[in-house]
Structure 1
Amino acid sequence: MSARRYAAAVPLGLAIAGGFGLLCFVIALISGASLALALALGLGGGVVVGAIYAARQNPERLLPLACIAGAAALFASEFMTTFQLSTTAGGICNVHALPRHYFALGVLAIFAVMAVIVAVTAASKPAAIAVGVCGVIALILFLTIDLPHANNTGTLEGCSPSTNFQFISATAQPQAGFWLEMVGALALALCGVALGTLNPEQLHAIRPGWLGGKPPDDDERRSRATRAPSLGEPEAEQTSGGDHDRPATATRRRARARGGRRG
């Protein structure tokens, strides 16, 4: 009985998120991933599924989470390899994102997360607009700095000890950091612009429950409940007024009947 009580006390959304996270963790371990990577995948999968389940009645609640996920992808891409300069014989050197962007995308990602927190907790439309601005700037940087060099072929001086003082024809092949940067920039730009279109009332509605956020349905029900008595009051007044007028009406009818008889 105690086990059943504890199981019934666990929220359904938390159980679904925990189960999916555990499944991702086990699959990652079976696939040969490291313990740290398996934990990260399990935690990330559980958080995503839990957020989707929690926002099933109000999909707009997914916008802040999508913005934070895009910012996290941008931040992580700054510490990854963007291109690999390779020849027909194989890769000769890697080009990392940090020297190319001077950590600009990381700064934008941090600022975007802070703006999301302010926009949701304070129902601030300027902060929501700032999230979209960060996403658009990150997308512009990706389109102007990294995308034009993808799969470009050129001659360069060797960048590894075995190819120093040599000029080699190499191709810039996009790596994981390039694709993660693209996904993060697109997600932050699109979701940030969508978040910036919400008004303060909608931003307040997507706040978590422990911060005072309320579903719009509750507000509508309350407004309808307050309107119902006010709409019923005139009818009650009319009914009560009719009851008071009945004796006077009957008296007038009797007086008319008597006058008719006398005439």
Structure 2
Amino acid sequence: MTVADTNQHYDLDPEVFGQFLDPLRKYSSALYATPDESLADAQVNKLRFVAECLRLRGGERLLDIGCGWGALILFMAREYRCETLGVSPAPRQHDYIARRAQELGVADLVRTRVGHFERLDLAPRGMDAVSMLGSIVHMPDLDEVFRRTRAVLRKGGMLYVSESCFRNAAAHAAFDARVGTDFVRNDIFGWGDMRPLSELVAGAERAGFSITAVEDLTDHYRRTIEDWLRNVAAAEERLEAHEPGLTAKLTHYLEVANAGWGYTTKHYALVCRNAR
């Protein structure tokens, strides 16, 4: 099982994502502190939550696998002065991140590399922390990902993974081949597999990680997608100017993604430590 050299969804024009994401263009679950909190504030909450899970205090070396539009690495560089490295196979994301790093005055702290993490040559034990927010779903070889992640972490380094998961193996088997799942996997992403949480835990443990925390973020992701759907609807005219039919395609994708939360699918944060 292989993945494409780039991902057709993430390599869309950056301005498409600017129409429905928060100002940081963070493309994963937010963390809402109050019933009426805005998407923008909730995404900042989530980034601070990740920083706490990774035990960032300032100046750490951080690798973000599947860095998207750079929300996490730019935030950690600006707020925590971390030396950050983002990895993504989508070239447009790297151009955007470089421009934003210059604008924010953190170009000296932010680097990116184009490619798949599984294929990159990275220095052993060179990182204090590693994050994967919604990216491990696009990596077919789970054991190789966790093995390589642990290899780049120093002793005592932390790993944060947040991912959408089928709620158990039976749901995975029952829904994996359905039309909606196939649409998201192939028409949107190119490849993806929402494994049960148990498989992620087992993969981390086989690689030698110690599990320190598991958080259920399902309700937060459901609400995040509802905010994205409202933004897509509000930006219909601008989205159609980019590509006719894009509004309907994004809406269908987000509705499919949101339909099963709490029933067939969940969203978890998994925190691990490289204890030895």
Larger radius of gyration: 1
TM above 0.5: no
When normalised by structure 1's length, the TM-score is 0.23
Decide which structure has greater helix share: 1
Task: Name the structure, 1 or 2, with higher relative contact order (CA <8 Å, separation 6+).
Answer: 2
